[in-house]
Structure 1
Protein backbone atom coordinates (compact mmCIF):
# COMPACT_ATOMS: atom_id res chain seq x y z
CA UNK A 1 0.00 0.00 0.00
CA UNK A 2 1.35 3.41 -0.95
CA UNK A 3 1.92 5.97 1.75
CA UNK A 4 -0.64 8.78 1.60
CA UNK A 5 0.90 12.22 1.32
CA UNK A 6 -0.56 14.71 3.77
CA UNK A 7 -0.72 18.09 2.08
CA UNK A 8 -2.22 20.05 4.95
CA UNK A 9 -3.25 19.70 8.54
CA UNK A 10 -5.28 21.48 11.20
CA UNK A 11 -3.16 20.70 14.25
CA UNK A 12 -3.84 23.24 16.99
CA UNK A 13 -7.05 24.58 15.46
CA UNK A 14 -10.57 24.46 16.87
CA UNK A 15 -13.81 23.81 15.02
CA UNK A 16 -17.50 23.87 15.82
CA UNK A 17 -19.82 21.93 13.50
CA UNK A 18 -23.58 21.94 13.82
CA UNK A 19 -25.18 18.54 13.29
CA UNK A 20 -22.28 16.11 12.98
CA UNK A 21 -23.44 12.59 13.70
CA UNK A 22 -24.78 11.17 10.41
CA UNK A 23 -23.60 10.69 6.85
CA UNK A 24 -21.66 13.56 5.30
CA UNK A 25 -22.13 15.56 8.51
CA UNK A 26 -20.28 12.90 10.50
CA UNK A 27 -17.59 12.63 7.81
CA UNK A 28 -16.92 16.38 8.07
CA UNK A 29 -16.51 16.18 11.85
CA UNK A 30 -14.27 13.13 11.69
CA UNK A 31 -12.07 14.49 8.90
CA UNK A 32 -11.49 17.76 10.76
CA UNK A 33 -10.42 15.73 13.81
CA UNK A 34 -8.21 13.41 11.72
CA UNK A 35 -6.47 16.48 10.33
CA UNK A 36 -5.71 17.58 13.89
CA UNK A 37 -8.49 19.99 14.82
CA UNK A 38 -10.19 19.86 18.19
CA UNK A 39 -13.86 19.63 17.25
CA UNK A 40 -17.15 20.24 19.04
CA UNK A 41 -20.41 19.26 17.39
CA UNK A 42 -24.02 19.50 18.42
CA UNK A 43 -27.17 17.57 17.56
CA UNK A 44 -30.75 17.37 18.76
CA UNK A 45 -30.69 13.64 19.53
CA UNK A 46 -28.81 12.77 22.74
CA UNK A 47 -28.64 9.01 22.19
CA UNK A 48 -27.28 9.52 18.66
CA UNK A 49 -24.65 11.90 20.06
CA UNK A 50 -23.64 9.48 22.83
CA UNK A 51 -23.24 6.68 20.30
CA UNK A 52 -20.91 8.82 18.18
CA UNK A 53 -18.95 10.05 21.20
CA UNK A 54 -18.24 6.42 22.17
CA UNK A 55 -17.08 5.65 18.64
CA UNK A 56 -14.87 8.75 18.48
CA UNK A 57 -13.28 7.90 21.83
CA UNK A 58 -12.37 4.43 20.52
CA UNK A 59 -10.93 6.06 17.37
CA UNK A 60 -8.99 8.49 19.60
CA UNK A 61 -10.44 11.50 17.79
CA UNK A 62 -10.38 14.80 19.64
CA UNK A 63 -14.14 15.39 19.52
CA UNK A 64 -16.75 16.58 21.98
CA UNK A 65 -20.43 17.16 21.58
CA UNK A 66 -23.53 18.58 23.15
CA UNK A 67 -27.26 18.42 22.65
CA UNK A 68 -28.66 21.52 21.01
CA UNK A 69 -31.76 22.30 18.98
CA UNK A 70 -30.31 25.04 16.84
CA UNK A 71 -33.74 26.29 15.85
CA UNK A 72 -33.80 27.90 19.32
CA UNK A 73 -32.00 31.23 19.71
CA UNK A 74 -31.31 30.71 23.43
CA UNK A 75 -29.91 27.22 22.79
CA UNK A 76 -27.60 28.58 20.07
CA UNK A 77 -26.32 31.14 22.58
CA UNK A 78 -25.74 28.37 25.12
CA UNK A 79 -23.90 26.36 22.44
CA UNK A 80 -21.51 29.24 21.74
CA UNK A 81 -20.96 29.67 25.49
CA UNK A 82 -19.98 25.99 25.61
CA UNK A 83 -17.68 26.36 22.60
CA UNK A 84 -16.08 29.45 24.11
CA UNK A 85 -15.47 27.64 27.38
CA UNK A 86 -14.04 24.54 25.68
CA UNK A 87 -11.74 26.51 23.37
CA UNK A 88 -10.64 29.26 25.80
CA UNK A 89 -12.57 32.02 24.01
CA UNK A 90 -11.23 31.21 20.54
CA UNK A 91 -12.61 29.44 17.50
CA UNK A 92 -10.88 28.85 14.17
CA UNK A 93 -13.65 27.21 12.13
CA UNK A 94 -17.44 27.43 12.33
CA UNK A 95 -19.32 25.05 10.05
CA UNK A 96 -23.02 25.84 9.74
CA UNK A 97 -24.10 22.43 8.63
CA UNK A 98 -27.42 21.67 10.27
CA UNK A 99 -30.49 21.49 8.13
CA UNK A 100 -33.99 20.19 8.46
CA UNK A 101 -35.93 18.80 5.55
CA UNK A 102 -39.62 19.21 4.98
CA UNK A 103 -41.26 17.39 2.17
CA UNK A 104 -44.56 19.14 1.62
CA UNK A 105 -45.73 21.20 -1.30
CA UNK A 106 -46.43 24.89 -0.91
CA UNK A 107 -50.19 24.43 -0.57
CA UNK A 108 -49.80 21.81 2.17
CA UNK A 109 -47.31 23.77 4.29
CA UNK A 110 -48.42 25.66 7.34
CA UNK A 111 -46.97 28.67 9.13
CA UNK A 112 -45.28 26.47 11.75
CA UNK A 113 -43.50 24.52 8.97
CA UNK A 114 -42.13 27.76 7.56
CA UNK A 115 -40.97 29.02 10.96
CA UNK A 116 -39.30 25.75 11.97
CA UNK A 117 -37.46 25.18 8.68
CA UNK A 118 -36.38 28.81 8.39
CA UNK A 119 -35.13 28.90 12.00
CA UNK A 120 -33.15 25.69 11.53
CA UNK A 121 -31.79 26.11 8.01
CA UNK A 122 -31.25 29.85 7.71
CA UNK A 123 -31.61 31.83 10.94
CA UNK A 124 -29.34 29.46 12.90
CA UNK A 125 -26.37 29.92 10.57
CA UNK A 126 -26.77 33.68 10.53
CA UNK A 127 -27.09 33.94 14.31
CA UNK A 128 -24.28 31.46 15.04
CA UNK A 129 -22.00 33.40 12.70
CA UNK A 130 -22.81 36.61 14.57
CA UNK A 131 -22.22 35.20 18.05
CA UNK A 132 -19.13 33.23 16.96
CA UNK A 133 -17.52 36.34 15.46
CA UNK A 134 -15.73 37.42 18.68
CA UNK A 135 -14.32 33.89 19.06
CA UNK A 136 -13.20 33.79 15.44
CA UNK A 137 -11.63 37.22 15.77
CA UNK A 138 -9.83 36.16 18.97
CA UNK A 139 -8.25 33.27 17.06
CA UNK A 140 -6.65 35.76 14.68
CA UNK A 141 -8.91 35.10 11.73
CA UNK A 142 -11.17 32.14 11.40
CA UNK A 143 -13.41 30.66 8.75
CA UNK A 144 -17.16 30.27 8.49
CA UNK A 145 -18.47 27.56 6.21
CA UNK A 146 -22.10 27.21 5.18
CA UNK A 147 -23.27 23.82 3.92
CA UNK A 148 -26.27 23.83 1.65
CA UNK A 149 -27.98 21.51 -0.77
CA UNK A 150 -28.57 20.85 -4.44
CA UNK A 151 -32.09 22.07 -3.60
CA UNK A 152 -30.73 25.61 -4.00
CA UNK A 153 -30.41 24.93 -7.76
CA UNK A 154 -32.91 22.19 -8.57
CA UNK A 155 -36.61 22.58 -7.82
CA UNK A 156 -38.33 19.68 -6.10
CA UNK A 157 -42.14 19.71 -5.94
CA UNK A 158 -42.38 18.62 -2.30
CA UNK A 159 -39.70 20.83 -0.77
CA UNK A 160 -40.75 24.41 -1.36
CA UNK A 161 -39.73 25.86 2.02
CA UNK A 162 -36.59 23.71 2.30
CA UNK A 163 -35.41 24.77 -1.16
CA UNK A 164 -36.08 28.43 -0.44
CA UNK A 165 -33.96 28.30 2.72
CA UNK A 166 -31.08 26.66 0.84
CA UNK A 167 -31.14 29.43 -1.78
CA UNK A 168 -31.09 31.93 1.07
CA UNK A 169 -28.16 30.16 2.78
CA UNK A 170 -26.19 30.44 -0.47
CA UNK A 171 -26.90 34.16 -0.64
CA UNK A 172 -26.15 34.57 3.09
CA UNK A 173 -22.74 32.92 2.72
CA UNK A 174 -21.83 35.19 -0.19
CA UNK A 175 -22.96 38.30 1.69
CA UNK A 176 -21.14 37.31 4.89
CA UNK A 177 -18.00 36.81 2.82
CA UNK A 178 -18.12 40.48 1.85
Structure 2
Protein backbone atom coordinates (compact mmCIF):
# COMPACT_ATOMS: atom_id res chain seq x y z
CA UNK A 1 0.00 0.00 0.00
CA UNK A 2 1.18 3.49 -0.71
CA UNK A 3 -0.21 6.60 1.04
CA UNK A 4 -1.64 9.55 -0.90
CA UNK A 5 -3.06 12.84 0.40
CA UNK A 6 -6.85 13.22 0.28
CA UNK A 7 -8.58 16.55 -0.37
CA UNK A 8 -10.73 16.12 2.73
CA UNK A 9 -7.62 15.86 4.90
CA UNK A 10 -5.67 12.86 6.07
CA UNK A 11 -4.19 10.08 4.03
CA UNK A 12 -5.83 7.42 1.96
CA UNK A 13 -4.02 4.20 1.16
CA UNK A 14 -4.00 3.00 -2.40
CA UNK A 15 -4.01 -0.76 -2.57
CA UNK A 16 -1.87 -2.26 -5.25
CA UNK A 17 -4.15 -4.60 -7.14
CA UNK A 18 -2.71 -7.92 -8.13
CA UNK A 19 -2.69 -8.95 -11.73
CA UNK A 20 -4.60 -12.10 -12.61
CA UNK A 21 -1.34 -13.97 -13.01
CA UNK A 22 -0.14 -12.93 -9.53
CA UNK A 23 -3.47 -13.94 -8.02
CA UNK A 24 -3.44 -17.34 -9.71
CA UNK A 25 0.14 -18.04 -8.73
CA UNK A 26 -0.55 -17.02 -5.14
CA UNK A 27 -3.58 -19.28 -5.03
CA UNK A 28 -1.56 -22.28 -6.20
CA UNK A 29 1.40 -21.80 -3.89
CA UNK A 30 2.42 -24.80 -1.90
CA UNK A 31 3.37 -24.73 1.78
CA UNK A 32 6.90 -23.48 1.02
CA UNK A 33 5.45 -20.44 -0.74
CA UNK A 34 6.30 -21.40 -4.31
CA UNK A 35 4.03 -22.65 -7.06
CA UNK A 36 4.58 -25.74 -9.19
CA UNK A 37 4.63 -25.05 -12.92
CA UNK A 38 2.80 -27.62 -15.04
CA UNK A 39 5.80 -28.32 -17.23
CA UNK A 40 7.96 -29.15 -14.21
CA UNK A 41 5.71 -32.21 -13.84
CA UNK A 42 5.08 -33.10 -17.51
CA UNK A 43 8.58 -32.31 -18.88
CA UNK A 44 7.41 -31.36 -22.37
CA UNK A 45 10.06 -30.31 -24.90
CA UNK A 46 10.08 -26.84 -26.46
CA UNK A 47 8.82 -28.36 -29.73
CA UNK A 48 5.95 -30.08 -27.89
CA UNK A 49 5.05 -26.85 -26.07
CA UNK A 50 5.07 -24.91 -29.35
CA UNK A 51 2.95 -27.38 -31.32
CA UNK A 52 0.48 -28.77 -28.76
CA UNK A 53 -3.06 -27.41 -28.44
CA UNK A 54 -5.13 -27.36 -25.26
CA UNK A 55 -8.84 -28.12 -25.48
CA UNK A 56 -10.94 -26.99 -22.52
CA UNK A 57 -14.10 -29.07 -22.07
CA UNK A 58 -16.84 -27.92 -19.74
CA UNK A 59 -20.49 -28.32 -20.69
CA UNK A 60 -23.00 -28.47 -23.50
CA UNK A 61 -26.75 -27.83 -23.56
CA UNK A 62 -27.61 -31.12 -21.84
CA UNK A 63 -24.85 -32.04 -19.40
CA UNK A 64 -21.35 -31.34 -18.09
CA UNK A 65 -18.14 -33.00 -19.18
CA UNK A 66 -17.54 -33.99 -15.54
CA UNK A 67 -20.78 -36.00 -15.39
CA UNK A 68 -19.89 -37.74 -18.65
CA UNK A 69 -16.36 -38.45 -17.43
CA UNK A 70 -17.75 -40.01 -14.26
CA UNK A 71 -19.78 -42.42 -16.41
CA UNK A 72 -16.75 -43.31 -18.53
CA UNK A 73 -13.55 -41.36 -19.26
CA UNK A 74 -13.76 -42.32 -22.94
CA UNK A 75 -16.93 -40.18 -23.23
CA UNK A 76 -14.69 -37.14 -22.72
CA UNK A 77 -11.37 -38.41 -24.10
CA UNK A 78 -12.78 -39.74 -27.38
CA UNK A 79 -15.99 -37.72 -27.64
CA UNK A 80 -15.90 -34.23 -26.19
CA UNK A 81 -12.17 -33.72 -26.74
CA UNK A 82 -12.17 -34.80 -30.40
CA UNK A 83 -15.55 -33.26 -31.30
CA UNK A 84 -15.98 -31.06 -34.35
CA UNK A 85 -18.98 -28.97 -35.33
CA UNK A 86 -18.00 -26.70 -38.22
CA UNK A 87 -14.48 -25.61 -37.31
CA UNK A 88 -11.52 -27.98 -37.59
CA UNK A 89 -9.93 -28.26 -34.17
CA UNK A 90 -6.97 -30.45 -35.08
CA UNK A 91 -4.91 -31.65 -38.03
CA UNK A 92 -3.34 -35.05 -38.48
CA UNK A 93 -0.01 -35.15 -36.64
CA UNK A 94 -0.93 -32.44 -34.11
CA UNK A 95 -1.06 -33.16 -30.40
CA UNK A 96 -3.74 -32.01 -28.01
CA UNK A 97 -4.21 -31.87 -24.25
CA UNK A 98 -7.69 -32.25 -22.79
CA UNK A 99 -8.47 -30.25 -19.65
CA UNK A 100 -11.88 -30.82 -18.08
CA UNK A 101 -13.40 -28.24 -15.73
CA UNK A 102 -14.07 -29.57 -12.24
CA UNK A 103 -17.29 -28.72 -10.40
CA UNK A 104 -17.38 -26.23 -7.51
CA UNK A 105 -14.26 -24.28 -8.60
CA UNK A 106 -14.20 -22.90 -12.13
CA UNK A 107 -10.41 -22.40 -11.98
CA UNK A 108 -9.63 -26.09 -11.45
CA UNK A 109 -9.14 -28.41 -14.43
CA UNK A 110 -8.42 -32.14 -14.60
CA UNK A 111 -5.92 -33.44 -17.16
CA UNK A 112 -7.83 -36.29 -18.80
CA UNK A 113 -5.56 -37.16 -21.75
CA UNK A 114 -2.94 -36.04 -24.23
CA UNK A 115 -3.25 -37.45 -27.74
CA UNK A 116 -1.63 -37.15 -31.13
CA UNK A 117 -4.17 -37.04 -33.95
CA UNK A 118 -3.58 -39.99 -36.29
CA UNK A 119 -6.71 -40.05 -38.45
CA UNK A 120 -9.76 -38.02 -39.40
CA UNK A 121 -12.97 -40.00 -38.81
CA UNK A 122 -15.47 -37.71 -40.47
CA UNK A 123 -15.09 -35.52 -43.55
CA UNK A 124 -15.14 -31.75 -43.10
CA UNK A 125 -18.64 -30.32 -43.13
CA UNK A 126 -20.26 -33.57 -41.99
CA UNK A 127 -22.67 -33.97 -39.08
CA UNK A 128 -21.23 -32.68 -35.76
CA UNK A 129 -19.55 -35.41 -33.72
CA UNK A 130 -16.22 -37.00 -32.87
CA UNK A 131 -14.13 -36.23 -35.93
CA UNK A 132 -10.66 -37.54 -35.10
CA UNK A 133 -8.87 -40.61 -33.84
CA UNK A 134 -5.99 -39.96 -31.49
CA UNK A 135 -3.16 -42.01 -30.08
CA UNK A 136 -2.74 -41.46 -26.36
CA UNK A 137 0.68 -40.54 -24.95
CA UNK A 138 1.37 -43.57 -22.77
CA UNK A 139 4.37 -41.91 -21.08
CA UNK A 140 2.03 -39.47 -19.29
CA UNK A 141 -0.75 -41.97 -18.55
CA UNK A 142 0.00 -41.95 -14.78
CA UNK A 143 -1.19 -38.31 -14.69
CA UNK A 144 -4.48 -38.79 -16.57
CA UNK A 145 -7.41 -38.35 -14.21
CA UNK A 146 -5.05 -37.44 -11.34
CA UNK A 147 -3.40 -34.11 -12.19
CA UNK A 148 -5.46 -31.08 -11.15
CA UNK A 149 -4.39 -27.83 -12.77
CA UNK A 150 -5.24 -24.30 -11.67
CA UNK A 151 -6.01 -21.89 -14.52
CA UNK A 152 -8.38 -18.95 -14.83
CA UNK A 153 -9.80 -19.45 -18.31
CA UNK A 154 -10.21 -16.23 -20.22
CA UNK A 155 -9.48 -17.56 -23.69
CA UNK A 156 -11.32 -19.64 -26.30
CA UNK A 157 -12.02 -23.37 -26.04
CA UNK A 158 -8.87 -24.27 -28.00
CA UNK A 159 -5.49 -22.54 -27.58
CA UNK A 160 -1.84 -23.27 -28.24
CA UNK A 161 -0.15 -24.54 -25.10
CA UNK A 162 2.85 -22.21 -25.42
CA UNK A 163 0.55 -19.16 -25.08
CA UNK A 164 -0.75 -20.21 -21.63
CA UNK A 165 1.93 -22.52 -20.19
CA UNK A 166 3.11 -19.87 -17.70
CA UNK A 167 -0.43 -19.57 -16.32
CA UNK A 168 -0.98 -23.32 -15.79
CA UNK A 169 0.04 -24.41 -12.30
CA UNK A 170 -0.33 -27.72 -10.52
CA UNK A 171 -2.96 -27.55 -7.80
CA UNK A 172 -2.66 -31.18 -6.72
CA UNK A 173 -1.92 -34.70 -7.84
CA UNK A 174 -4.46 -37.23 -6.61
CA UNK A 175 -3.22 -40.52 -5.17
CA UNK A 176 -5.46 -42.41 -7.59
CA UNK A 177 -7.40 -41.51 -10.70
CA UNK A 178 -10.88 -40.04 -10.43
CA UNK A 179 -13.23 -43.03 -10.28
CA UNK A 180 -16.27 -43.45 -12.45
CA UNK A 181 -19.42 -45.54 -12.67
CA UNK A 182 -19.42 -48.32 -15.24
CA UNK A 183 -23.23 -48.21 -15.67
- What TM-score do you get using the length of structure 1 for normalisation? 0.27
- Greater RCO (CA < 8 Å, at least 6 residues apart): 2
**Over alpha carbons, which structure has the higher Rg?**
2
Write 1 or 2 for the structure with the bigger share of helix: 1
Write 1 or 2 for the structure with the bigger share of strand: 2
